[in-house]
Structure 1
Amino acid sequence: MEIEVVKENGEILKQVVELGTKNSKTLGHFPEGAYVDHARKGFLICAHQERILLGYILFSITSSKSYVRIIQLCIADEARGTGVAKELLNSLKNKFRFSLKGIALSCRCDYIEATSLWEKYGFKAMDKVRSRSLKENYLFKWWYDFGNHDLFSLSHSNSSKQKALLDANILIKLRNDRKDEISGTNFLLDDWLISEIDFFYAPEIYNEIKRDKNDQRARETRAFLSNFYEAKFDPDLRDIILEKLHPIISGSSENDLSDKRQLAECIAGEINYFVTTDEKILVADSEVNKLFGIQILRPIDIILRIDEDNNKSNYQSTRIAGVNYENGFLKSGEIDDLVDTLFDKNNSEKKHELRSIFTLASVNIKDCRTRVIRDNNRVILGVWISELSPDRLLIPLLRTTKSKLSSTLFKQIVSELINYAVIKKRNLIVIYDGFIATNDQETLENMGFLLKDGEWSKLAIRAIIRSSQLFDFGYVSDHYDEKSIKRRLSDISNSDEFLISLERKLWPLKFSDVDIPTYIIPIKPFWASQLFDYYAANDSIFGAKASVVWNRENVYYRNVKPVSEKNPSRILWYSSSSSDKYSIRTSSIVACSYLDESQIGEAKELFRLFKHYGIYEWKNIFQLAKHSPKTIIKALKFSDTEVFKYAVPFSQVNDILFTNGRKRNSFTGPLEVSNQIFLEIYKLGVNHK
């Protein structure tokens, strides 16, 4: 028996689809395209004997919650009871045991054989919930813990789900249990989605029910709505939004108006997805998204996009280009405005306590700084207070207001606070604001903060060390399980995987003894300035203005070259020469990032997949693809960029290459380099020594 990752175009995949379809009654409906999509991502593992499929396990990674979710585990009839399931689970566990929290899955309680398997393997039945199916089925929510809570502080159960509103037509189809293979409506009630997404309905549906002449059927529809959540919103805001929708979406019939009201209620309720099969609504997706930051999707698309969008805490990433924001100190007369705007009445925060925080910070002129970010209309976007103690940076308050920018702004503020602590040589950051939203807590966790006794803390060290030196720094033993980490570091077979995960959590700390690929990748100065190089944009968040995008993750598109980048890996960004106005910091390496994903495909398809990252518009991609949407290009998804204060010029980079036995290079395409070359360039970029 052999265990391997299924390839998207292999013969084994066809057998997987056949086996999954054969067992769809218990597994749940799963479209063939979804199997292909998971195989493309490497999220499908099989067991076979001489290329004959014995079983498979299909899963996804929920990065924002740091766990792997099993969608399907299926064993061929003739292979059951032979240990195939255990081997597949072992393979999945070994693949992710050092980088994620654990494995989650949902399984019906009446599936006795499966229940026995999970329990025997060591899974824990964390909860029992009702299935969304029409029949009264119940699910166990199983959890297998990897024990990585010295690295990850929030448990999977604390993370918020995605939210989507189903329009009336979708809900009626679900009520009638209609099979709709084209739109995928019937797949919305599959059990595996229950732990990933909450479905809502718009109150406008009650008006549609009222028009039903069949009273018995109307009562059944109202009762059916109890399986979903009702959207809550400000009706005045709904009406304002509705007026803006009229010129965007065609149609004036009673049904058309009702559809628009449902969409308006979805937007006003701050629900990020509107699920429909109405073409009049679907064709307005781009314009509605531009105005309100909401996505309009067909049922099957919301299912296939869960994995992509699950990493976003509360809204899709967007870039701000060509806009300056005021980022200044707290001024007299502003405290009342800030208190009224920021106090968390939903969680019983007291205004006088919040006012006290601002007051104490204002009088502590020597050690405290309060920063306020406003847009061009003077609307408050974010506020934070930092205090320098003798050995740490204290953050008593860190808030962003509800807007399309709130999530990305929060991430950028945290990044700048880390840099600020490094500059001020405070090795520890402590955030003790007791009213940080759950979504922002996920951001803190993903950026390496640990929650202990109600405080979020993170080491803030910019240095290059060997992993064995980690516990030479103060505070490390207080915040990490030294014994557990040293044990994992001693495991030679998994040490690099674990070190990479640990380095990401300890950003910007770098380990010199980690084996991770590194690429020097050329980028035009304009895109560098817009994507990450705030020095080239002549700005930073601690300056007077902010014109850089506040994004932790981004995507860069380029031509396909011989170098096939692996991930995870490091990127050194080489800003090429230019004669335009963005010509500062050119012909030099200006930043480093982590490469999270590299995809090659047709230009139009890649743009569709990644259009919510970065600043690229289709016209930019179309030009790169030489005016053909089917041209094969490459998309590099990267994160945690560290911009070099001192750009490393072309000549010095080539000197480093030469002294390390490499030929000089013009950097017209990606170049893979050694870890030693990376470290030498990195030292110059951050220290100028």
Structure 2
Amino acid sequence: MSVDVVIWDPTRSDAEAQFSAVLALHKANRATLGPMPDTAFRDRAKHSGLLLGRRDGATVAYLLYDIPRHNLIKLIHLCVDPDARGSGVAKSLVGQAISLHPSRSMLTATCRTDYGIDGFWQSLGMHAASERKGRALSGSILTNWVKRINLESGLDLLETASLESGLPLAALDTNIVGDLFSPETVRRDHREESSELKADWLQPLVTFAVSGEVNNEINKIADPAYKKHLRESTTHLTRLSTRRPTDRTLEDELLDAVDAALLAKDPSLKADVLQVADAIHAGADYFVTNDSNIHLAAAGWKLDERGINVVRPHELIRALTPASFMSDFRSRLIDDSDLEWKVVTDADPALESLFRVYSDEPKPAVFNQRLRDVLAKPKSITVQQLHDGNGRPWALAAFEVNSGVLRLPLLRVFRGERGGTVAFQLIRYFRKVAWGFGATRIEITDPAISQTLDGALRADGFSDGGLRGADLGPATMSCDDLGVNTTAEVVSAERSRWPLVVTGASLPTYLIPIQPKWASRLFGLDDGLFPARRRGLGLSRELVYFSGSRLVPRELPARVLWYASSDKTMQLSQIVARSVMVDTTRVPVDEAIERFAKLGVFRKSDIKGSADKEGSVSVIRFQDTERLQRTVSRHDEIFKQRVKGQVQSMRSVAPQFFDEVLALQTDKVQAA
């Protein structure tokens, strides 16, 4: 006989009779449910927190739950009469509660570990997230069970961020988790091999995650201290959602494909299949395990059709390119690297693993076809790869210029931290390429834009949507003609329409002296002291300069005119470049090194040499530097009119001086 699920309605004529039946069920099972006053029952019930399982007019089960926060459904009591157990009514009650609250994303429950019903909670697709002490005098332990729900409404933020990172997703089996996070006192036969997954170089190249079933495996550990250690050591790993118990189609397919003799030999494969299924549903690229029986079973799973590989740790490491990277934009990576573009004429198979966007190109064939498409048009499309002096790849791009528009049907950066560094720089580089061809617009038509590139495009003022575009120039335009009034509007216009420079903006302007050797390193001036590096991406877009000056500009952003002074090796005494100052601060030199050294070409000794007697240094962070085509000497008339005396430290100058220097550049271009 089927069991119907109904919401308890206090306005019904039989409401009190139903409520009394619920209280009777509770009383009969109080030993496991625990005490609860009738008023607490009634308060939750009045807020639609009581569901009944009814059979032949009798209440045979009930679910009492809370919705304490915006994202939770908290199960308080889930009680089924012994005669109705096995009918599926418990799953129906929980399913009804979930459907009543489609905006909730997490289902939770708490149960004593000594009740021995872990299998029931697991049958609901829940996993053991943590433990805490109970209130029983006997010293009970409570297990906290959780499950992400309403997946069709979107995953939680952490899982979404992991799955949309653009990196390969590797789901770790329980045995790998044990190898990586067990205390050293616990013997693990594969610890040495698995430990290589913690290598620093690997972290930016892959996203690690685990099925919630890993929590259930950890929950079976008898040693409380060991169990607690593993739980606490793995909290940072993303837990993948599951479709169980609603949909077990994939699990059943995988299990049916396992050789019967192998399954009889190793019944634990039934649990392993749950983890593999969760990984496949999440779109994982790899399932990493040292379990030989899983590798044997995988032979019958047609994994190539499911887009996942079952691998051992060393096989995952071999599949990913070993290299050392920084974590975010680090100008030294660009300034210290000998970058050069080379033309690509053949569809090198190695390019796929380097530049495929996994979120948009689930199969290697998708990337390879796109590459072949652009290579098939050599007369109109140029395909190039950016590499450094060691031959390491940085970027891959294809572009064409037509009717005043530079289009990029393929634009990729290397995954990991090198890609994060190069993306911001790459956008400006292609703006310059477009401007050099006389184009007035740039469009990115590549349908597979990684999150790294997407962030760079947004920051650079490109439009959102399927076609990512930006207009260029003109070279200069006045505030009045452009229709901008505020500093923010000026900066936004110059960023989104580079190489536009807004004149008449009256932005605060500073003249900053810089020694020739630093001008060479920061701006690429050829001073004969340093070997010229190939700058395949031009000047770094964001840098810092360290100064002993006590002047700390507060009205930002501001214009910067860089005055290359003179020293024993060179006599320059001229303005050689311009920038936009975005931040300044004065801090102890050790703090400056810790916070800002990654954004410049300065070494620790150089930064310390810039400090004053008190050990403090001014840090000037600046962006969008451009060398002047027409430098301005201290002997030029406009310099002598605007700058009095020797330029020995940073000083404020009239904003009109910047416009006058800029006008000289325009005059030179027109003359040329």
TM-score w.r.t. the length of structure 2 is: 0.52
Give the aligned partner of residue 568 of structure 1: 557
Give the aligned partner of residue 319 of structure 1: 333
Give the aligned partner of residue 363 of structure 1: 379
2:672 is the counterpart of 1:656: no
1:681 shift after superposition = 0.7
Is the partner of 1:420 in helix, strand or coil?
A: helix
What is the aligned counterpart of 1:410 among 403, 423, 443?
423
- Give the AA of the match of 2:601: I
What is the aligned counterpart of 2:615 among 607, 626, 631?
631
2:606 is the counterpart of 1:620: yes
Is the partner of 1:436 in helix, strand or coil?
A: coil
What is the aligned counterpart of 1:229 among 222, 228, 238?
238
1:565 shift after superposition = 5.3
1:394 shift after superposition = 1.3
Matches within 5 A, 1:106-185: 109=70
Question: d(CA) in 1 for partners of 2:592 and 2:460?
Answer: 27
Is the partner of 1:612 in helix, strand or coil?
A: helix
Question: d(CA) in 2 for partners of 1:355 and 1:650?
Answer: 52
Give the aligned partner of residue 477 of structure 2: 465
- Give the AA of the match of 2:333: R
Note closer, same or farther for the CA distance 1:606–1:399 as it changes in structure 2 (3 Å cut).
Answer: same
- Kept in 1, the 8 Å contact 2:406–2:434? The answer is yes
Is the partner of 1:413 in helix, strand or coil?
A: helix
Is the partner of 2:566 in helix, strand or coil?
A: coil
Note closer, same or farther for the CA distance 1:350–1:264 as it changes in structure 2 (3 Å cut).
Answer: closer
Give the aligned partner of residue 425 of structure 1: 438
Instruction: Describe the superposition over 1:431-460 as per-residue Cα deviations: whole angstroms up to 9, x where unpaired.
Output: 1111221111100110111123x1111111
Matches within 5 A, 1:379-418: 379-402=392-415, 404-418=417-431
Note closer, same or farther for the CA distance 1:403–1:215 as it changes in structure 2 (3 Å cut).
Answer: closer
- Kept in 2, the 8 Å contact 1:557–1:635? The answer is yes
Question: d(CA) in 1 for partners of 2:479 and 2:500?
Answer: 10
Matches within 5 A, 1:566-605: 566-580=555-569, 583=570, 586-605=572-591
- Kept in 2, the 8 Å contact 1:327–1:545? The answer is no
Instruction: Describe the superposition over 1:74-110 as per-residue Cα deviations: whole angstroms up to 9, x where unpaired.
Output: xxxxxxxxxxxxxxxxxxxxxxxxxxxxxxxxx9649
- Kept in 1, the 8 Å contact 2:354–2:415? The answer is no
Question: d(CA) in 1 for partners of 2:285 and 2:162?
Answer: 26
Is the partner of 1:363 in helix, strand or coil?
A: coil
Give the aligned partner of residue 370 of structure 2: 354
Instruction: Describe the superposition over 1:266-323 as per-residue Cα deviations: whole angstroms up to 9, x where unpaired.
Output: 99999xxxxxxxxxxxxxxxxx9xx84467xxxxxxxxxxxxxxxx4xx655434554
1:633 shift after superposition = 1.1
What is the aligned counterpart of 1:679 among 634, 659, 666?
659
- Kept in 2, the 8 Å contact 1:317–1:408? The answer is yes
* Greater RCO structure (CA 8 Å; 6+ sep): 1
- Kept in 2, the 8 Å contact 1:573–1:591? The answer is yes
Question: d(CA) in 2 for partners of 1:498 and 1:133?
Answer: 51
2:515 is the counterpart of 1:524: yes
1:520 shift after superposition = 1.2
Give the aligned partner of residue 245 of structure 1: none
1:213 shift after superposition = 7.3
Question: d(CA) in 1 for partners of 2:598 and 2:358?
Answer: 32
Note closer, same or farther for the CA distance 1:538–1:424 as it changes in structure 2 (3 Å cut).
Answer: farther
* Larger Rg computed on CA atoms: 2
Matches within 5 A, 1:439-454: 439-452=452-465, 454=466
1:230 shift after superposition = 6.6
Instruction: Describe the superposition over 1:298-356 as per-residue Cα deviations: whole angstroms up to 9, x where unpaired.
Output: xxxxxxxxxxxxxx4xx6554345543332333x5565554564344552362453233
Note closer, same or farther for the CA distance 1:433–1:547 as it changes in structure 2 (3 Å cut).
Answer: closer
1:551 shift after superposition = 3.2
Is the partner of 2:556 in helix, strand or coil?
A: coil
- Give the AA of the match of 1:350: V
Matches within 5 A, 1:502-521: 502-521=493-512
Instruction: Describe the superposition over 1:108-153 as per-residue Cα deviations: whole angstroms up to 9, x where unpaired.
Output: 6499xxxxxxxxxxxxxx98666999989999xxxxxxxxxxxxxx
Give the aligned partner of residue 273 of structure 1: none
Question: d(CA) in 1 for partners of 2:326 and 2:494?
Answer: 34
* Structure 2 residues without counterparts, runs of 5 or longer: 1-67, 73-101, 109-128, 132-143, 149-160, 184-205, 241-283, 291-312
Question: d(CA) in 1 for partners of 2:350 and 2:449?
Answer: 19
1:656 shift after superposition = 1.6
- Give the AA of the match of 2:594: R
2:468 is the counterpart of 1:456: yes
1:381 shift after superposition = 2.2
Question: d(CA) in 2 for partners of 1:110 and 1:356?
Answer: 46
Question: d(CA) in 2 for partners of 1:537 and 1:455?
Answer: 45
Give the aligned partner of residue 376 of structure 1: 389
Is the partner of 2:635 in helix, strand or coil?
A: helix
Question: d(CA) in 1 for partners of 2:615 and 2:487?
Answer: 36
1:359 shift after superposition = 2.1
Residue-pair matches, total: 426
Question: d(CA) in 2 for partners of 1:614 and 1:408?
Answer: 13
What is the aligned counterpart of 1:610 among 565, 583, 596?
596
Question: d(CA) in 2 for partners of 1:462 and 1:535?
Answer: 29
Is the partner of 2:505 in helix, strand or coil?
A: coil
- Kept in 2, the 8 Å contact 1:372–1:383? The answer is yes
Instruction: Describe the superposition over 1:438-493 as per-residue Cα deviations: whole angstroms up to 9, x where unpaired.
Output: 111100110111123x11111111422124433xxxxxxxxxxxxxxx7xx5xx7x
1:416 shift after superposition = 1.8
Instruction: Describe the superposition over 1:520-572 as per-residue Cα deviations: whole angstroms up to 9, x where unpaired.
Output: 111122222222336669999xx993378863221110112346453211111
- Give the AA of the match of 1:656: I
Question: d(CA) in 2 for partners of 1:413 and 1:539?
Answer: 25
Give the aligned partner of residue 670 of structure 1: 650
- Kept in 2, the 8 Å contact 1:432–1:456? The answer is yes
Note closer, same or farther for the CA distance 1:646–1:361 as it changes in structure 2 (3 Å cut).
Answer: farther
Question: d(CA) in 1 for partners of 2:587 and 2:166?
Answer: 30
Question: d(CA) in 2 for partners of 1:642 and 1:685?
Answer: 11
- Give the AA of the match of 2:447: G
- Kept in 2, the 8 Å contact 1:520–1:573? The answer is yes
Note closer, same or farther for the CA distance 1:427–1:361 as it changes in structure 2 (3 Å cut).
Answer: same
* Structure 1 residues without counterparts, runs of 5 or longer: 1-106, 112-125, 140-155, 174-197, 239-262, 271-287, 296-311, 471-485
- Kept in 2, the 8 Å contact 1:531–1:549? The answer is no
1:648 shift after superposition = 2.7
Note closer, same or farther for the CA distance 1:560–1:108 as it changes in structure 2 (3 Å cut).
Answer: farther
Instruction: Describe the superposition over 1:616-640 as per-residue Cα deviations: whole angstroms up to 9, x where unpaired.
Output: 22111122237x7x51110011112
- Kept in 2, the 8 Å contact 1:391–1:427? The answer is yes
Question: d(CA) in 2 for partners of 1:468 and 1:569?
Answer: 19
Question: d(CA) in 1 for partners of 2:530 and 2:391?
Answer: 19
- Kept in 2, the 8 Å contact 1:519–1:670? The answer is yes
Is the partner of 1:560 in helix, strand or coil?
A: coil
Question: d(CA) in 2 for partners of 1:621 and 1:359?
Answer: 47
RMSD between superposed Cα atoms in Å = 5.2
- Kept in 1, the 8 Å contact 2:130–2:231? The answer is no
Is the partner of 1:434 in helix, strand or coil?
A: coil
Question: d(CA) in 1 for partners of 2:220 and 2:162?
Answer: 40
Give the aligned partner of residue 437 of structure 1: 450
Note closer, same or farther for the CA distance 1:535–1:414 as it changes in structure 2 (3 Å cut).
Answer: farther
